[in-house]
Chains A and B, each alone.
Chain A
Amino acid sequence: MSSVKTPAGVETGLTALAVSVRGVTKAYDNGVMALGPLDLAVRKGEFISLLGPSGCGKSTALRLIAELSAPSSGIVRLVRHESKAQPGHIQPGHFQRGHGIGFVFQEPTLMPWTSVRENVRLPLKLAGVPKAEARARADEALASVGLADFAEAFPRELSGGMKMRVSLARALVTDPDILLMDEPFAALDEITRFRLNDDLLTLWRRLGKTVIFVTHSVFESVYLSQRVVVMTARPGRIQADIRIETVEPRGEEFRTSVAYSDYCRKVSAALAPSYAGQSTL
């Protein structure tokens, strides 16, 4: 099985689940229900967006999938695909390629005290990958986000968009099955965001990762994803699950097409009930 999958290949592999969330709830310590019950199935190689107003628990859902916090009830299951691992390549102490998840936070979350390359190498360093190999893979990941020339730079020397690219490179360096992104481009200006959206789509088409992308932008979610999962607040629940179908690869024509604005209207309409009765906001 080829490790490079096209989005079209996803359509044929209907049964291959990457993430399965069943009956998951999350309550805060004070008893307030933040999320759920939530049911979500994400297929391998799929690009889905979790869209909703702030406080709807979409980031909480992402943290639960990343196992950064534990659900109060229910099951989160990540399906690992053995076929992606290359037999004979894995040596003791190595990070297994194709294992686990990559996480991109809302902030770039880089270590300010060290170079871009060292930041990207971190996940491999923690996994005990030998230095030479880890450096090579970090440089490879940096090249894939267009930052090959900035390996020696320090994070403070980069712009906001470039920092986010470093963060993305770090998430990709372990070659994860699943990429979780928590409003990664929310703090960027629109021009930078458009460019990063396009670059993210290019990367996704090339690498065939499963992507779960949290955003509060209708336009971003429709542009990027194959499925937009609309969530409502208090407690966070799934309101609608809208499939976005268009000619791939997407580009500037899609962003300016009638189909795109129709989808945006549809998603906005699904989002509307979550704002109903919230006049206090």
Chain B
Amino acid sequence: MNAQAPVTAKPSGAKRALRFVLPVIVFAAGLLAWELVVRIKDIPPYVLPAPSVIFLTLIKDWAVLSQSLAATLLTTLEGFVAASIGGIALALLFNQSKWVEASLFPYAVVLQVTPVIAIAPLLLIYLEQQTAVVVCAFIVAFFPVLSNTTLGLNSVDRNLAGLFQLYGASPQQTLRFLKLPSALPYILGGLRIAGGLSLIGAVVAEIAAGTAGAGSGLAYRIAESGYRLNIPRMFAALLLLSLAGIVIYGVLALVSHLALRRWHESALGKDN
């Protein structure tokens, strides 16, 4: 192994670099082709804006767009935090009592399978707009946290559970020192899904609310720009939404990696 390590290290390092460089090349080539097509065919910006125009719009409208970005991110964060706390708390409750689980789980499923875009207009009638948007983000995001945490809490090693029993661990100790650490990889997996979903929930609710009136989020900006045929700004807002989604995913993946890197298979290198 040791003798081979320097030999194998170089190709794997090059491969890793390629893995990073290739998507960037594809991205650059795509942008270039887009730019060329728009310029050569002389397509007007209200039909299809060139990447350069989108970029300039992003800079020009930054004051408006950054405010919208902040609003959407705040909604997403609130929905995410609510979904995380709600999902984990409900899973813990389910774990304490089979009867509570049996009584409530079907409704969690109903909430999950009903399309949130259909619930949003109703929520907007009964709740204040900002609250309704956060509730939408919560509804979409909480289920993966709930189901993953439940799965994790039920996946405790039987022998370890026996060991805790043998040493007379209290229910609180078992939860803190055994069940939660065992469930951590599952919980983090749930949170990673929930991060992206709470952004989607926030956007859906903003679009539903946008047609109703006052709004300030990025999705509202997209809807509004659509009515005004301000296509470059639609693209710019969309770009920001994508970037926000990527950053949310990246941050959560990083947190998950840092928390699990020393012990969990998912965070370890493939060859050890």
Known: A109-B157, A109-B160, A126-B177. A103 touches B166 (CB 8 A): yes
Whether, in the assembled complex, B227 has its beta carbon less than 8 Å from a beta carbon of chain A, the answer is no
Instruction: Report A186 CB to chain B, min CB distance, Å.
Output: 14
Which residue of B has the minimal Cβ distance to A115?
B262
Say how far B1's CB is from chain A's closest CB, in angstroms.
15
Residues 152-196 of B at the A interface (beta carbon under 8 Å) = 157, 159-160, 162-169, 173, 177-178, 181-182, 184
**How long is the Cα–Cα vector from A67 to B167 in the complex, in angstroms?**
11
How distant is the Cα of A127 from the Cα of B169 in the complex, in angstroms? 8
Give Cα A112 to B266, complex, Å.
13
Across-interface contacts of A154 in B (CB, < 8 A):
262-263
> Are B263 and A101 neighbours in the complex by a CB distance under 8 Å?
no
Number of interface residues of B (CB under 8 A): 21
**Per-residue contact bits, chain A 111-136, to B (CB 8 Å; 1 contact, 0 not):** 11110000000110111000000000
- Shortest C-beta distance, A66 to chain B (Å), equals 6
- The 0/1 profile, CB within 8 Å of B marked 1, for residues 88-125 of chain A is 00000000000001010111010111100000001101
Say whether A127 contacts B168, CB under 8 Å: yes
Establish whether residues A101 and B184, one from each chain, have CB atoms under 8 Å apart when the complex forms: no
**A105 and B159 in contact (CB under 8 A), knowing A112-B264, A126-B164, A126-B167?**
yes
* Contact residues, A136-191 vs B (CB, 8 A): 154-156, 174
Q: Are A105 and B263 touching (Cβ within 8 A)?
A: no
Using A68-B162, A109-B159 as known contacts, say yes or no to A122 and B167 having CB atoms under 8 A apart. Answer: yes
In the bound complex, do residue B163 and residue A109 qualify as a contact, i.e. CB atoms below 8 Å apart? yes
CB-defined contacts of B165 to chain A, threshold 8 Å: 68
From B164, B173, B177, B263, A112 is in contact (CB under 8 Å) with B263
Cα A125 to Cα B170 in complex, Å, equals 12
The answer to whether A66 and B168 touch (CB under 8 A), given A126-B173, A126-B177, is no
Which residue of chain B lies nearest to A103 when distances are taken between CB atoms in the complex?
A: B166
Chain A contacts for B163, CB-based, 8 A = 103, 105, 109, 122
Count the A-B residue pairs with Cβ separation under 8 angstroms: how many? 52
Q: Which one of A122, A126, A174 has the highest number of Cβ atoms from chain B below 10 Å of its Cβ?
A: A126
Which of chain A's residues have a CB closer than 8 A to the CB of B162?
Answer: 63, 68, 103, 105
- Contact in complex: A107, B166 (CB < 8 Å): no
Q: Which residues of B contact A123 (CB under 8 A)?
A: 167
A68 adjacent to B264 (CB under 8 Å): no
Q: Is A156 touching B166 in the complex (CB atoms < 8 A)? A: no
- Bound-complex Cα distance A236 to B160 (A): 26
**Once the chains bind, are B177 and A122 in contact (CB under 8 Å)?**
yes
For the residues of A in contact with B, the DSSP-based class is loop
Query: Using Cβ atoms and an 8 Å threshold, which residues of chain B touch A174?
Result: 167
Whole-angstrom CA separation of A67 from B166 in the bound complex = 7
Within the complex, what minimum Cβ distance (angstroms) separates A113 from chain B? 5
Write the nearest CB–CB distance from B164 to chain A, whole angstroms: 7
Instruction: Point out the residues of chain A lying under 8 angstroms from B264, CB to CB.
Output: 112-113
With a cutoff of 8 Å between Cβ atoms, the chain A residues found around residue B166 in the complex are 66-68, 101, 103
Q: How far is B177's CA from A67's CA once the two chains are assembled, in angstroms?
A: 22
Closest to A170 in B: B163
* Residues A111 and B160 in contact in the complex (CB < 8 Å), given A122-B177, A154-B263: yes
Cα-based distance from A66 to B163 in the complex (angstroms): 10
Chain A residues contacting B181 (CB-CB under 8 Å) are 111, 113-114
Given contacts A126-B173, A126-B177, contact A107 B159 (CB under 8 A): yes
Q: How far is the CB of A99 from chain B (nearest CB, A)?
A: 11
Assembly CA distance A220 to B159 (angstroms): 24
Q: Which of B234-250 contact A (CB under 8 A)?
A: none
Report whether A127 and B263 are in contact in the complex, using a CB–CB cutoff of 8 Å.
no
Task: Note all chain A residues with C-beta closer than 8 A to B157.
Answer: 109
The distance in angstroms between the C-alpha atoms of A270 and B163, with both chains bound, is 33
Q: Which residue of A lies closest to B178 (CB)?
A: A111
Q: Which residues of A contact B167 (CB under 8 A)?
A: 122-123, 126-127, 174
Chain B residues in the interface with A (C-beta under 8 A): 157, 159-160, 162-169, 173, 177-178, 181-182, 184, 262-264, 268
19 more CB-based (< 8 A) A-B contacts, given A113-B182, A126-B164, A154-B263: A68-B165, A103-B162, A105-B159, A109-B157, A111-B160, A111-B177, A112-B264, A113-B181, A113-B184, A113-B263, A122-B163, A125-B177, A126-B168, A126-B173, A126-B177, A127-B168, A155-B263, A156-B268, A174-B167
What are 29 of the A-B contact pairs (CB < 8 Å)? A63-B162, A66-B166, A68-B162, A68-B165, A103-B162, A105-B159, A105-B163, A107-B159, A109-B157, A109-B160, A109-B163, A112-B263, A112-B264, A113-B182, A113-B184, A113-B263, A113-B264, A114-B181, A122-B163, A122-B177, A126-B167, A126-B168, A126-B169, A126-B173, A126-B177, A127-B167, A154-B262, A155-B263, A156-B263
Can you list the 6 inter-chain pairs with the closest CB atoms, starting with the nearest? A109-B159, A112-B263, A123-B167, A113-B181, A126-B167, A126-B169
